[in-house]
Amino acid sequence: MHFYSNLLLVVLATVANGQLIGSVGPLTSSSDKAAIKTCNVLDYGATNDNTTDVGQPIIDAFADCGSPDTSGAVVYVPEGDYLLDTWVHLSNGTTWALQLDGVIYRNSSPSLEGYMFTISDGSDFELFGSTSEGAIQGSGYLYHMQGDYEGPRILSVSGVENWSVHDIALVDAHMFHFVISGATNREVYNMAIRGGDSGGLDGIDVSATKFWIHDIEVTNKDECVMTKAGTQNALFENIYCNWSGRCAMGSLDSNDLVSDVTYRNIYSWSSNQMMMIKSNGGSGNVSNILFEEFIGHSNAYSLDLDSVWSSMDPVDGDGIFYTNITFKNWYGDATDGETRAPIRVICPSSVPCTDITLDKINLWTDEGGYEEYLCENASGSGYCLDTSDSSSPAATTQYINTAPVSYSAATMTADSTTAFGTAASIPIPTIPTSFYPGATPISALAGSSS
């Protein structure tokens, strides 16, 4: 297992923007925990025939193998198909793991809200699949086909310190797939997320400090991997938005803070944006951010900082103060650069953006003979930004009639040819072994020979 090499992670950004330094993940390996005690849910009344509720057996197994009274143990869901009737909330576990090698299916009958699985508080936790074939199937299509998009999310991890989630798939959530909030020292990797072709079916939403999310593939039509208010000291790396909405930051509103964040090696195919930062009024600060090594193909928009985002109701306040943000080494193409500017930096008029850097943004349009770059109330260096020291940066529109020399970029062989709908079951995917062109995944898939 690769636990120890990941635990000793030290990542430094190549510039001052966006740093994550130090160790993340569990403090104790799952193999050490299993050597102390393993609680197999089959011994607590579960059956792997997709007919009997596995929720209560997981809760009962946790009482023996994950509660604060234990000193190290594993709750084990073996291979097979399981039915989930009872939502699972496991709290205050210490030095434990949940090994998911089977596939858990949501029962279509319960009208429960909240989360199918909630892991809260405690420390030294790991949710993983030892074969990379474990999954949670939310069966959201059963509700989406009836126009119902308000229901349970699949997974929440909140308030837990020193933890990881890896080598499992999350599929077809009724709403969001994976929400992370609170605490520190977390790692998420080697995951595939599949959602329907609709808004509100986010892949991963994060509001937390000190974490590393890498080697993730998301197919949906809303947020791919999103940073929310309160995020600090974070690294997103090797993210594959495969027919998705976008990687994003926001929506930001009142007294929000985001700082020291890096997005690196982000690949977007047939998505709404490559990266979007979104707000509309409000207050707060976004600073020390790096977005580097982005590749995009056939996306509606590309680089999109929008402080007057029309899909968000205006919030009281002069706006978010965006400063010391670098976009570097972006390549690929956008669907229609004539009407959807591949570079779009729209900042609040009362709180102009400062110290913005656009460096080697080489994008070209799939349609038309030119493209636009739009900058408003934004100063810094590169492209349409105002390079003066004015307190009221000029609005600039640039028209680009010739393709950048270096815009061409590699594609991924797994690029989807169509979106998953909302009226049929979404198949459980195989977790890929490649998430960004030319980049070797940081951790081998669990159960692989490498």
- Residues designated as active site: 222, 297
What distance in Å separates the CA atoms of residue 97 and residue 77, rounded to the nearest whole number? Answer: 11
Q: Taking a C-beta distance cutoff of 8 angstroms, is the pair 74, 7 a contact?
A: no
Q: Nearest to residue 425, comparing CAs of 102, 143, 50? A: 143
Under DSSP, is residue 31 helix (H, G, I), strand (E, B) or coil?
helix
Encoded amino acid at 118, one letter: T
- Identify any residues that bridge with 254 across adjacent strands, giving them in sequence order: none
Q: Where are the beta strands (DSSP E) in 42-84?
A: 49-53, 73-77, 81-84
Encoded amino acid at 423, one letter: A
**Dihedral sign computed on CA atoms, order 309, 312, 314, 317:** negative
Q: Taking a C-beta distance cutoff of 8 angstroms, is the pair 321, 351 a contact?
A: yes
Q: Taking a C-beta distance cutoff of 8 angstroms, is the pair 224, 218 a contact?
A: yes
What distance in Å separates the CA atoms of residue 343 and residue 407, rounded to the nearest whole number? Answer: 14
Write down how long the chain is: 450
Q: Nearest to residue 369, comparing CAs of 343, 339, 402, 397? A: 402
